[in-house]
Structure 1
Amino acid sequence: MKTSLHGIGLRYFVEVARTGSLSDASVALHVATSAISRQVAKLEEELGCQLFDRLPRGMVLTEGGRKLMAYATRSMLDGEHIANELRGLDLERTGTVRVACTQGFAYSFLPAAIASFLDGHPKVKFQLYVGSPSVVAQRVRDGESDVALSFSLRPISGVHIEHSEPASIYVLMRQDDPLASRRHLSMADLAGRHFLLPEQGTTLRELVEIAAELAGVDLDPVLESNNSYAMYAFAKKTGALMFTAIVSVSGRYEEDGFLAIPLKDDVLGRREFQIQTMSGRVLPPLLADFCEHVKVQKKLVSTLTRSRKKTMA
């Protein structure tokens, strides 16, 4: 039996997967629920694979369904790319770039990178979503965002890494701190101090907790928060120590009276800065340009950090 992966059945499948129910897909498509159900069942029969688990709470994708959804999303994005090429829009570098990032990139680095990119691409628009590492990776995998900036500890299924590099963890402290003269620190050096920690589920929190356990340091944070801006302000006010990536505070921490000193515990070297895109997707020229621009901007931050260290030495 010949199977079509570009017809109405696939369109209905995508809408059911997106909405999570036949009735919601019916409303979105203005098509009878029974017609959608028949097309999805026909697609399952042709593929010889169950695409959904029919549960009381709705339609949930099976593993096979998730693979088909990834294919369908890539196909739609590639179709948009081809259409833009035919209209000549790719040559003009116009369009909308949908970016997702974790919180550490949202305050300074990414807004600055977007602003400088727009200097050379004035017709481009951006959409920015800020979330946890797992959520931004999911958005890229599902095609809801074109590119994500994140910190990661391990490979992620369905996500292609356009660029990665080590992401050192620093201790942010006031310039009058007793440890301010140190060139680097270990977790053991921080015993007995007041800490600020991000919420559970972040790569930074995971690694800091492992390093503290290995060093025998009791991590009893005076403040935990899902908002890095609140922790930054609290550290400035109280002198509590904050763990951070340098890219998360670049361009502001010295002016605010802080120093950033690297932590050297071996386990902390596992974290990477990553530029993530959908696995298997051919990037349009505009997205490729933006990814390259982000790499250059990140390199500038790293170069500036190294030069500051040499000046302090």
Structure 2
Amino acid sequence: MIETTSLRYFREVALQGSLRHAAERLFVAQSALSRQIAVLEHELGVALFERRARGMTLTPAGRLLLQYADDSRARLEKLRGQIHEFEALERGQVDIACVEGLLSGFMPGFAEDFLAGHPGLALTVSAMGSQAVAEAVAEHRVDIGILFGQSPRRDLLELATMSQPLCAIVAPHHPLAGKRACRLADAVAWRIVLPDRSFGIRQLIDRVRATGRLAMNAALETNTLSFAWRMVERTDYVTFLPMDSVRAEVADGRLVAVPLEDALLRGTRVTLVASASRTLSVAAERVADSLKQRMAEGAGRAAPRASAPSRSAKRSRNQKAKVENR
């Protein structure tokens, strides 16, 4: 779509009606201009000008080409204006792949604040498991991604990390709810809801379980974390999630997050990644920079503590104990 030298020279000759005048305006030799017109006529197989003593006049074919040249220049100017809008962050779309655990607390707050400050930009946020996030970024199907743990691929750049310690998530009436912290070994006595193996969370849980030779009663396996914590909310099951996945539910007293003391689970993180073989657009760079700042702020937060059981939760446990003792 960029205007070629031959087309630019042709257009100027057509407007001036003279090789000499066109050459003067273009600051090129008249012979060079004549050669370019001859090459263009040869490529198209038609004469574009009628050569007359008082100048050059367009043939019918030449008039069609001039119309095309004018249309192309108009489209080029429009394209330049649109590119300027993207460079000035007045327009643009950025595609983000993200693990589900951040879509409840972290990402909504980030997206709201970012879009308020950049009304011309749009975000597409897709929930994926960590491996799928890595593949989508590496294959350039999305601009940037946030995955659980460290990058699993060498062709990805790690732009930022944020601490996301895992917790045992239980209902307020659950016996674990009163603990300040626990280990995975303390939780496996209960029925477990596990994320499927596409989740980095599951891969870490399996590593700790294998190292400790822990038998686990996995009652349910799911590819959505919201289903996991909703099952926990209704039962005495246990699941394992970062605090950010259920922050609102913990604040409402619907769930309790008990920090896990296992070193591998306590030291977990999420990582912002980009492709090493791709140059990000200006808009994508701005999103990445904003995410890095937000993640740095999140990394500075204190480690999560188990929420104190509410009075209703305590009452529920006491009533349950009385029934069992009868």
Give the alignment's TM-score, normalised by structure 2. 0.63
Q: Is contact 1:153–1:203 with CA below 8 Å preserved after alignment?
A: no
- Specify the code of the residue in structure 2 equivalent to 1:152: G
Q: Is contact 2:89–2:283 with CA below 8 Å preserved after alignment?
A: no
User: Is the partner of 2:88 in helix, strand or coil?
Assistant: helix
Q: Is contact 1:164–1:273 with CA below 8 Å preserved after alignment?
A: yes
Mapping of residues 50-129 of structure 1, within 5 Å? 87-129=84-126
Cα distance, 1:299 vs. partner? 4.7
Q: CA 1:305–1:238 in 2, change beyond 3 Å: closer, same or farther? A: farther
Q: Is contact 1:85–1:91 with CA below 8 Å preserved after alignment?
A: no
Give the counterpart of 1:137 among 117, 134, 137.
134
Give the counterpart of 1:223 among 209, 220, 225.
220
- Specify the code of the residue in structure 2 equivalent to 1:266: A
Rounded to whole Å, the distance in 1 between the matches of 2:225 and 2:153 is: 24
Rounded to whole Å, the distance in 1 between the matches of 2:306 and 2:175 is: 21
Cα distance, 1:242 vs. partner? 1.0
User: Is the partner of 1:230 in helix, strand or coil?
Assistant: helix
- Specify the code of the residue in structure 2 equivalent to 1:112: G
Q: Which has the larger radius of gyration?
A: 2
User: Is the partner of 1:224 in helix, strand or coil?
Assistant: strand
Cα distance, 1:301 vs. partner? 4.7
Give the alignment's TM-score, normalised by structure 1. 0.65
Paired residues in the alignment total 230
Deviations 1:139-163 (A, max 9, x none): 1111110111111345412211111
Give the counterpart of 1:263 among 260, 263, 266.
260
Deviations 1:61-119 (A, max 9, x none): xxxxxxxxxxxxxxxxxxxxxx7896253223420011111222233432332122111
- Specify the code of the residue in structure 2 equivalent to 1:223: L
Deviations 1:192-227 (A, max 9, x none): 111110112321111112212333421121111111
- Specify the code of the residue in structure 2 equivalent to 1:274: T
Q: CA 1:271–1:85 in 2, change beyond 3 Å: closer, same or farther? A: farther
Q: CA 1:191–1:242 in 2, change beyond 3 Å: closer, same or farther? A: closer
Rounded to whole Å, the distance in 2 between the matches of 1:305 and 1:176 is: 25
Give the counterpart of 2:182 among 173, 181, 185.
185
Identity value in percent: 19
Q: Is contact 2:95–2:124 with CA below 8 Å preserved after alignment?
A: yes
Q: CA 1:297–1:176 in 2, change beyond 3 Å: closer, same or farther? A: farther
- Specify the code of the residue in structure 1 equivalent to 2:203: E
Q: Is contact 1:250–1:301 with CA below 8 Å preserved after alignment?
A: no
User: Is the partner of 1:283 in helix, strand or coil?
Assistant: coil
Query: Cα RMSD between the aligned structures?
Result: 2.8
User: Is the partner of 2:177 in helix, strand or coil?
Assistant: coil
Rounded to whole Å, the distance in 1 between the matches of 2:223 and 2:216 is: 17
- Specify the code of the residue in structure 1 equivalent to 2:167: Y
Unaligned runs of at least 5 residues, structure 2: 1-79, 309-326
Unaligned runs of at least 5 residues, structure 1: 1-82
Rounded to whole Å, the distance in 1 between the matches of 2:258 and 2:172 is: 11
Rounded to whole Å, the distance in 2 between the matches of 1:265 and 1:197 is: 17
